[in-house]
Amino acid sequence: MSQRIAYVYFMDDKPQQIAEQIAAHIDYWKTAELSNYEGGPFSDHSGGLILFDAEDLENAQQIVEQDPFQKYQLLHCHRLKVWLPE
């Protein structure tokens, strides 16, 4: 059974590199064909929240590692959590 995953991330202060990768980041998540995907940036553009279904946290980590923001080390920090919506 799949688990609902919450991926919260905060950006490093690297505006040029972020600008270069933002289109690839958006494209990656929109084309990843993840079940129950939804996500977007925070209003202050400091990071974002992405929700999706994955087999487990290990599978979710593999998915997140392919995000261009991760690949190019543009994040200050991130967290993956199993989310239990009621």
Q: Are 11 and 74 in contact (CB under 8 A)?
A: yes
Q: What is the pLDDT along the chain (86 residues), one digit of tens a residue?
A: 899 999 999 999 999 999 999 999 999 999 999 999 999 999 999 999 999 999 999 999 999 999 999 999 999 999 999 999 88
CATH number, domain of 18, equals 3.30.70.1060
Give the whole-angstrom CA distance, residue 1 versus residue 27: 27
Give the whole-angstrom CA distance, residue 17 versus residue 53: 29
pTM of the model: 0.92
35: tokens are 């079940």
Q: Are 74 and 18 in contact (CB under 8 A)?
A: yes
Give the whole-angstrom CA distance, residue 70 versus residue 78: 9
DSSP character for 35?
T
Structural domain of 15: 3-82
Number of domains in the chain: 1
